[in-house]
Amino acid sequence: MEIFRRTVYGAYLQTCMLMRLPFQLVPSTTLNEKFSIQQTAVLGVNETPAMRYLAIGIGGHRSKKGADNIDLIETIQHETDDASCYRPLPFVLRPIDSDITSTERDRYALRRIENHGGIDYAAYYLRRLDMTNVVPKMQQTETNGGVSNTTDFIPNSDQLNPVPPPIVTGGVTTVTGDFLSAVARLQVNFDRFDATEILNAAVVIYGSEDYAFISEMALCSGVDRSVTVTDPNGTSLTYNEVVAVQINTHISTMQPMKSQRDGFTATLDVGATEPLFNLTP
């Protein structure tokens, strides 16, 4: 179950990119500002954010009573202007003296120091997405008798020579159930390492693995930037951070990590869809 809600921030970035207009980073829209991580960083003249990151949270659901007083889980959808998850959860939360390795750190970003129970932890609130096998394509979906079939859309000379539809007196434009899509299928793999670290983060913050219930994900845009920080223990650390992080799309999901210790895979169709219309009497 995935419910997508695109944000105005992603739409603004897309508009700037399509028209090759300057992208202006607006205050109160970045996760950097929310978490106080490189929040004063500015973009260079030739730097444009890209949607290559993922954030997670545990606030996208609530319980309600169903028939026979059965407890049910209800999805809480996001608004188009929501610039953060309801309850963000770090992918990794380690004591700074046993932080993840530099190789493991390449996978994550939005690192900050948090104190829980008198102990300083390194928290990572963003994960880089693997785009290696992601291929954008155009597709056509046709619906017949309530059954949908999706195939690759291959334009031909008809698209270069469109014919105006006939005029129908009293005609009504209706949606046919067929549509065209520009889509890039993205597989987000949460492996055993991810599951273990998320469960550990829930225990440190909330005291129980039960809180590692991922009910919201967010596709984010940003720009990689090498930074150097000094931890409370005096250790100087240089790593690849992400600046100008904005949520482009909120995704409602239901992933209880306590019962998925080996991880899970979420398949996301990223893109845009336009319906095909039909003029009928």
Specify if 168 maps to a domain: no
Answer whether 51's CB lies under 8 Å from 248's CB: yes
Mean pLDDT in residue range 32-43: 96
Mean pLDDT in residue range 39-58: 93
Specify if 141 maps to a domain: no
Specify if 206 maps to a domain: yes
Specify if 281 maps to a domain: no
> C-alpha angle 27/33/36, rounded to 5°?
155
The confidence band for 105, taking pLDDT boundaries of 50, 70 and 90, is: very high
- Boundaries of domain holding 86: 3-130+189-266
Tell me the residue type at 219.
Answer: L
Q: Higher pLDDT residue, 206 or 174?
A: 206
The confidence band for 157, taking pLDDT boundaries of 50, 70 and 90, is: very high
Q: What percent of the chain has pLDDT over 90?
A: 74
Model confidence pLDDT, tens digit, residues 177-197: 788 899 899 999 999 999 999
* Residue found under tokens 């996301």: 268
Number of domains in the chain: 1
**Residue 8 per-residue DSSP state:** H
Distance separating alpha carbons of residues 259 and 171, to the nearest angstrom: 54
Specify if 167 maps to a domain: no
pLDDT of res. 2: 61
Q: How much is the pTM?
A: 0.90
